[in-house]
Amino acid sequence: MNASPSPSVPPAGPDVLRTLLERPLPAVMGVLNVTPDSFSDGGDFIAPHRALERARTMIDAGADIIDIGAESTRPYRGAQPVTAADELARLKPVLSDIVALGVPVSIDSMKADVVAFALDLGVAIANDVWGLQRDAGMAPLIAARGAPVIVMHNRESVDSAIDIVADMKAFFLRSLDIAAKAGIARDKIVLDPGIGFGKTAEQSMIALARLGELDTFGLPVLVGASRKRFIASVSPSEPSGRLGGSIAAHLIAAQKGARIIRTHDVAETVQALRVANAIESKQ
C-alpha cells in the first residue's frame, strides 16, 4: 500500500464538494462496505481485490464519489461496534488503491483516528453518521484538515411519538454549533437526514416527504435510502430485493432538492436520475 495519496487525486477541501454540487444532476455516491456484517452486502467486499473491483465497477457505472466504510452501522440489526484498529486493519490493504482510481472518496467513520488516516491518504470527504456529536476529536480534525464533512442525523433509540423532522432540525443545530466552534466553514458541510437511523419506517418516509424543510439551513443535502428497511414496510422484501423502492425514494429526494444520492446500485440510480431529468426538461 502506498503511504501517500496519488498526485492525480484532488486534495480534500471545498473545491471537491463545490465541483460535485455544481453539476446539474445530483452526485451519485457509491457504497463500498469493507465489513463482514453490513445489512445488505456484509462480507461481499472485505477482501481487498473484491473491494477494488467493486469500486472500479461503480466508477464505470457513473459513481461521482466512492463512500468506503469499515464498520457496520446497520440500523435495527444490532451491529457490533469495532475499534479504530479494526477499521484501520480493513482499510489499510485497499484504501490508497481506491483513492488512486481518481474519483473523490469519502470515509464513512465516526472515529476521528480513522478519518485522519483516510485524509492522510487523499480521501476527500468525511462522512460522520453521528454528525460530529460522538467523537469529540472529529470536528477539530475536520477543521484543521479543511475537509468537507457529511453530518448525518442519528438517535440512540427510536421514539415513534416524536416529530422526527423537528428532531432532525434540533440535531443539526447542535452539529452546526459544534462545527462553527471548531472552525469548520459552512460551505464544507452537507446534511444527511439519516434515513433508517433512529427512526421507525414511518419516520423515515416522513423525513423523505418533508425533506424540503431542511432548506432552512441553506446547506446541500445527501440522501441514502438505498435498500433500507422502510421499503419492506411498504413492499415486503429482503435488502437485495429493494431496488425499485430505493429508486423511488431517491427520485423523490432529488425532486425535493437532494444534491447527493448514496446508493448500493449505482448504474440503476444514475440511469433513473438521467431519465427523470430528461423528462422534466421537456416541460
Active site residue 228: yes
Question: What SS3 state is found at 126?
Answer: strand
The Cα–Cα gap between 102 and 184 comes to 25
Question: What SS3 state is found at 151?
Answer: strand
Say if CB 23 and CB 261 are below 8 A apart. Answer: no
The Cα–Cα gap between 27 and 87 comes to 26
Say if CB 20 and CB 65 are below 8 A apart. Answer: yes
Cell numbers 466552534 correspond to: 181
Active site residue 174: no
The Cα–Cα gap between 277 and 153 comes to 28
- Identify the active-site residue in 188, 228, 229, 242: 228
Q: Pick from 233, 163, 126, 14: which is nearest to 117 by CA?
A: 126
Can you read off the three cell numbers belonging to residue 111? 472515529
Phi-psi region of 237 (alpha: psi -120 to 50; beta: other; left: phi over 0): beta
Q: Which residue blocks in 92-157 are alpha helix, DSSP H?
A: 95-99, 112-120, 138-145
Catalytic residues: 228, 262
